[in-house]
Structure 1
Amino acid sequence: MPTRILPAVGDADAVRSLITLLSQLPDAEPLPPLGDSTQLVDTLARLAADSVDELPEVVIVHERIGPVPALELVREVALRFPAVGVILVTTDASPGLFSAAMDSGARGLVTLPLGYEDLAHRVQAVAQWSVGVRRHLGHGGDVFTGAGGTVVTVCGAKGGVGTTLTAVQLALAAQASGRPTALVDMDLQTGDVASYLDVQFRRSVVDLAAISDISPRVLADAVFRHDTGLALLLAPGEGERGEEVTDRAARQILSALRSRYEVVVVDCGAQLGGAGAAAVEMADTALLVTTPDVVAVRGAKRAVRMWDRLQIRKAEETTLVVNRHSRGTEIQPALIQKITGTALAATTVPAHFKELQAAVDAGRIHALDPKGTVRQALWALAGELGLVKAPETAVVRRGTRARGGDRGAVGFRRRRE
C-alpha cells in the first residue's frame, strides 16, 4: 500500500530538498506540499470529513512552518487527527527538543540536513504506526500493516479438476486463522464462486475495471462481505462482460486488494485470458491444480509450457496441487511433477467426492465437515503455503499425509518487482 506523505514546509529551498528525497522512497506517494499551518489543518479537516481512510499516513512538519509555531502545529494535528503520524524536521537535535516534540505528539524527528536513510526509516516506522492505529480504531476495514499482502492464484489444468473448491477452501482457512482475506473470482466468463458460497450480488470485478484510481471506498463498494468474514470480489453474472477486465485492470485491482488484505486468493479457472495471465504473473504463489489422469496431466503440461513461452511464469515457479489422489492411482504425484517440471505441493487432496456433494449442491462449500479428509487436506495445504497463522498451521497439519516433508516442495515465491 503506498504511503501517503503530506509535507508542510514554509521554506522554498527545503520544499525542493524534501520532495526530492520523498520521491525516492519505495512505496511512497508524496502529496503536494502545503506552505503554512492553516492550509495543513484545513486540508486534513476536509479529508477527514470524507473518511479517515482519505487522510495521509504521514505528515511532515518543517520547523519554519508558520504562522503557528511548529510544535503547536504538531500538537494540534496529533489531537485532532490521531490516526495521522507527524514527523518534525528540525536543525535542533538536542534532547530537549526531542522530548518537547514527543510531548507534543510527534511520532518522529528528523534532523537537517536531511539524509535518505534517516528519512526513509522514520517514514516507514510512522506509516506502520498510523495504519495500526486506524485498525485499532476500527477505521479502514481490513487495512494491512506491511509492504503488501500475499497473492495466491489457483488455476486448473482443465475444467472440473477442483480449481474453485481449492481456491475457496484456501481462502476460508486463511480467514479462519485471523488473517483478513479476499477471494477473487477471475474466471471471468464461467466463474461460479458465488454459487459455491450461495450469495446474491450486484457488483463484480467488472465494476472496478474502468477505474484508474481504486480508493478504499470504491473497493469496499465492490466487495461482498460473506458470513465467514471473507471479502468476495466476484465474476460478472454476464460472462461477456469479462472482456472489460484487461490485464492492466487486473493488475490495478489486485494491487488495491493486496494493500487492504493480508491474503488475496484468486480463482483463475482453467481458461487463462489476459487478466488471469496478469494475475499469475504478479502472484507470490501460483498453484496449478490437476487430477491424476492422462487428460488433466496433459493439460497441466500444456499450461506450464504456454506460461513459459509467454514469459508469464516459469515451470519451477509454479506449484502443482494433485486433487482426487489415491494410492491406487496409476499416475502418482512424483510422475506428474517430472512430466510438468513444476514444484510439487507436499499435500495431496484425496478422492472423496461424497464428502463434498451435499455441500456443493446446497451452495455451502464453506460448511464442509471439519473432520472430512478433503477439507482437512485443503486446510493443510493452506498451512503448507504459509497462508494461515502459526497456531492454526499446527492444527490443520494433523490430518495431512505429507510427502517429502520439507518446505522446499512449496512453490517458489517470486520477489515483487
Structure 2
Amino acid sequence: MRGARVTILCEPEATAASLLAPFLGDDVRIVVSLRAATRALAADPAERLVVIGSGVRAENALEFAAHVSRSAAGTDIVLMRDTVDSDLLSRAFDAGIQTVLPTHERHALAEACTRLAASRRPAAAPPQPGPTAAPNGVIVAVVAAKGGCGKTTFAINLALALNAGGEVRVCLVDLDLEFGDVASSLRLDVERTLLDAVPGRALTRADIAALVTTYHPGLDCILAPVGPGEAERVTPAVAREALNALAQLYDYIVVDTPARMSHHVLAALDTADHHVLITVPEVPAVKSLRRTLDVLDLLGYRRESRSIVVNRTDPRVVLTARNVETLARSPIAGHIPFSWDVPASINHAAPLVTAEPDHPVSKAIRAFARARIGTGAAATRRPGVPRRSVRGWSR
C-alpha cells in the first residue's frame, strides 16, 4: 500500500470524487476547490500528494501546480483528464505535475500513487545479477509521431535485416492493437495474438510459443488482435510482461507501435533499449516529431538510446536533410530513399530486404541496423542502465 500520508483529492463533482476516492487508500481528504487544497497543504505538511480531478479546469490546475512546485517542494501532483495529448503532457510537466492520467484509468491512478509514495522512501540496493543470469535480447521500439510515415513497413524490414537470413532470432511485435498491419502486410493468418497472453504473471517459454506466428526461419511475429473490442482487453501490463519474456528468448525484439501516445506505447518505450522515431520530409510530420521528442525528454528517456530515421527522402523534395535536422533540433541517424518499389512490395507481401536485398531501400535499412542497432548476436544491456519502469503518463 501507499503508506500513511493523507491524499488530497480536489474534485468539485461529487460523483466523480466518489469514483476516484476508493483508489486512493484509506486516508483521503476530498476538497472541492484548489483554494481548499492549498489550505489543506498549508495546514498539514505531511500531506504531500494531491490528485486533481477532471472537474477542475486545466488552466487552473496548471497554475496551482506551478505555485505548489515553488512553495511546497516535494509535493506530488497527479492530474486526471478526460483526454490526454502531447501538448497537455508538456505543459503539465513544465508546471511540476508528476503524472497525468485519463479519467477512466482508476486502477492506474492507484498504481501511480503507490509508486509516488514508494519514491519517498529510501531506495533499496538493486539486486546484483548472479553469474548464470541470462543476457537479455535488445528491444527496439519503432515509433512515428504521425500516421502515414511508413512505420510498419520500416519495422518489418528492420526485423528482417536484423534476422540476417535466419542467423539471428528476432521477434516482431505488432503493438498497434486497434489498427495493426503486420499480419496483412505479411499475409499471415491471425490464429493467435497478444490477446492470448496470460495476464498477471511472467510468461513462460511455453506461453510465448503459444503466442507467436512464424514468418521466416528465425523470425517470429506476435500479431495484433483483429476482433471488435479485443484491443481494449490487452492491458499495458500484459504488453510489458510479454516484451520482458521475449527478451529472454530472442536476440532482437522489434515493436511496431501505434502513431499516438498511449499506455501501451509507454510500456514499449519503458521496456525498450532503443527508440527508433520515423518521420518523412514534410513540415507537419517533422513538427509532430519535434513535439514527440519534447515529450520523450520530459519523460526522462535517454537521448543516447534514440535514433531518428527520415523515410522517403527524395532530392526533388524541398525539405532537405539539413532542414529536417533544424526543424527537429536533433541529428538524423538514417535516411531511407523514396521508391515506388516500396508500395509494390507491400501489395505483394514481399518485403524489400529479402525480396531485393540489393535495392537502395534494403541497403539503407541494413546500414541503419548495423550502425545503430547491431547485427549478429545481440549485445547485453549495459550494467547500471536499467529500463525505465513507469505506469501511466509520468515524468
TM norm structure 1: 0.56
* Letter of the 2:223 counterpart: L
From 246, 262, 267, the counterpart of 1:257: 246
**Correspondence for 1:361:** 347
Change (3 A) 1:362 1:312: farther
* Letter of the 1:151 counterpart: I
**Correspondence for 2:359:** 372
Conservation of the 8 A alpha-carbon contact between 1:154 and 1:167: yes
1:151 aligns with 2:121: no
Distance in 1 between the 2:304 and 2:318 partners?
24
From 183, 186, 190, the counterpart of 2:172: 183
SS of equivalent to 1:281: helix
Conservation of the 8 A alpha-carbon contact between 2:211 and 2:222: yes
Change (3 A) 1:257 1:351: same
Distance in 2 between the 1:192 and 1:238 partners?
14
Instruction: Give the Å deviation of 1:343.
Output: 4.2
* Letter of the 2:364 counterpart: A
**Correspondence for 1:167:** 155
* Letter of the 1:334 counterpart: R
Instruction: Give the Å deviation of 1:387.
Output: 3.0
Conservation of the 8 A alpha-carbon contact between 1:288 and 1:319: yes
SS of equivalent to 2:312: coil
Instruction: Give the Å deviation of 1:285.
Output: 0.8
From 368, 385, 388, the counterpart of 1:415: 385
Moved more, 200-209 or 151-160: 200-209
Moved more, 232-241 or 156-165: 232-241
Conservation of the 8 A alpha-carbon contact between 1:325 and 1:351: yes
Conservation of the 8 A alpha-carbon contact between 2:144 and 2:151: yes
**Correspondence for 1:382:** 369
Root mean square deviation of aligned Cα:
2.5
From 267, 277, 280, the counterpart of 2:266: 277
Give a deviation string over 1:11-69, Cα, whole Å, max 9, x none: xxxxxxxxxxxxxxxxxxxxxxxxxxxxxxxxxxxxxxxxxxxxxxxxxxxxxxxxxxx
What stretches of structure 2 of length at least 5 have no aligned partner? Answer: 1-127, 388-395
**Correspondence for 1:203:** 192
Q: Which has the higher contact order (CA 8 A, sep 6+)?
A: 2
Distance in 1 between the 2:229 and 2:320 partners?
38
1:221 aligns with 2:218: no
* Letter of the 1:163 counterpart: K
Give a deviation string over 1:356-414, Cα, whole Å, max 9, x none: 23321122226531121112111211111233129xxxxxxxxxxxxxxxxxxxxx999
Distance in 2 between the 1:413 and 1:266 partners?
23
Distance in 2 between the 1:284 and 1:341 partners?
22
Instruction: Give the Å deviation of 1:416.
Output: 2.3
Instruction: Give the Å deviation of 1:317.
Output: 4.5
TM norm structure 2: 0.59
Q: From the two aligned structures, give the one with the greater helix fraction.
A: 1
Change (3 A) 1:239 1:289: farther
1:323 aligns with 2:311: yes
Alignment size in residue pairs:
254
SS of equivalent to 1:226: strand
Moved more, 265-274 or 362-371: 362-371
Instruction: Give the Å deviation of 1:147.
Output: 2.0
SS of equivalent to 1:271: coil
SS of equivalent to 1:158: coil
Distance in 2 between the 1:194 and 1:250 partners?
18
Distance in 1 between the 2:147 and 2:324 partners?
18
Give a deviation string over 1:274-318, Cα, whole Å, max 9, x none: 111111122111011000011111221122223334x16355643
Superposition misfits of 4+ residues, deviation over 3 angstroms: 314-317
Distance in 1 between the 2:175 and 2:331 partners?
23
Q: Equivalent residues in 2 for 1:15-414 (5 A)? A: 124=131, 127=132, 146-176=134-164, 178-208=167-197, 210-238=199-227, 240-309=229-298, 311=299, 313=301, 317-345=305-333, 347-352=334-339, 354-365=340-351, 367-389=354-376
Larger Rg: 1
Conservation of the 8 A alpha-carbon contact between 2:176 and 2:256: yes
**Correspondence for 1:13:** none
